[in-house]
Amino acid sequence: MPRHLAIVSLTLALLLGAAPGRAELALTDDVGQSVTLPGPARRIVSLAPHVTELIYAAGAGQALVGAVDYSDYPAEARSVKRIGSYVRIDLEAIAALKPDLVIGWRSGNPATQLERLRALGLPVYINEPRNLEAVAHSLRQIGILAGTQAAANAAADRFMAHRNALHAQYAGRTPVPVFYQIWNQPLMTINGHHLISDVIRLCGGRNVFDKLDVLAPKIGIEAVLAADPEAIVASGMGESRPEWLDEWHKWHTLNAARRDNLFFVPPDLIQRHTPRILDGADMLCQHLDTARARRNGPQ
């Protein structure tokens, strides 16, 4: 292109408000809402710990300017400015950061606070992976939003390769009825639409409460006894096995307790919607294999 034409084209682009290399982006988020950006986001705020982790995994950590409490992975995330918790967002702190994108969490963030962010004119993308393929999709979407597609797509491909390898290894094994326990007081579990249920299925397990309507319902001990799971899996709140998991031993008629199939998986490896969930899946699949091996042992 002749030099004078290039100068004219550049001038027109600037007059129209379009900087070179920043084409408009339009994506649909996980709740079906359209999110439009004038170009790749350069200042991102995360409203959930798992979103923070996804942003780094997608190669966009350099754009993260604000994150909620417990955004502790990878280590670099710990130094990012805090903007409250995922259930109590500091709207003023977010506005002060002048983000060009906010990434929220449907199941965790109060809808009223998300609407207030939109009212401030901030683009809000909602993330809500309900199965393992959706985790890979989340990585790809964040890569588009942040302009880091190469890194994000590579991370998504690695994730799916790991997922497919686990499927090939465990899909044909005999099913294990599983009760996944989120907490003890109140007693809480997950239904079949939860991402953790997809991990259970990946390992050849069956969530005994998969038909319940609520994503993370409260249940009674009587419901667990009636379901009689072959394995109970819990995560608790930290890196240590929760003491309350072993309280199931007092229910001698319970299949899982009688066979000592009471298993622990660290919460960061099973309860976060991130690539590390497959590390948790590795552990869960091995636990369910242990349960299968104990079928012929002492009853």
pLDDT tens-place string over residues 89-111: 999 999 999 999 999 999 899 99
9 or 234, higher pLDDT: 234
Q: Where are the domains of the chain?
A: 23-156, 173-296
pLDDT surpassing 70 at residue 6: no
> Dihedral (C-alpha) 107, 86, 109, 74: value to the nearest 10 degrees?
-60
**What would the mean pLDDT of 290-299 be, rounded to a whole number?**
80
Q: What is the pLDDT of residue 237?
A: 80
CATH, domain range 173-296: 3.40.50.1980
pLDDT at position 299: 43
Q: How far apart are CA 259 and CA 275, in angstroms?
A: 32
Distance, CA of 132 to chain centre: 9
Question: Residue 147 pLDDT more than 80?
Answer: yes
pLDDT over 70 percentage in the chain: 92
The fourth-level CATH superfamily of domain 23-156 is: Nitrogenase molybdenum iron protein domain (3.40.50.1980)
pLDDT at 18 over 50: no
For the stretch 34-83, pLDDT in tens is 999 999 999 999 999 999 999 999 999 999 999 999 999 999 999 999 99
> Which whole number is the average pLDDT over 203-232?
96
pLDDT digit string (tens) for 219-262?
A: 999 999 999 999 999 987 878 899 999 999 999 999 999 999 99
- Is pLDDT at 14 greater than 70 in this prediction? no
pLDDT of res. 240? 83
Close Cβ partners of 78 (under 8 Å, ≥ 6 residues apart): 71, 72
Q: What is the mean pLDDT of the chain?
A: 91
Residue 9 pLDDT? 39
What percent of the chain is modeled with pLDDT above 90? 87
Winning range, highest mean pLDDT, from 9-13, 154-158, 293-297: 154-158
Does 23-156 match 173-296 in CATH topology? yes
The reported pLDDT for the residue numbered 297 is 61
Output the pTM of the full model: 0.88
Q: What is the pLDDT of residue 296?
A: 75
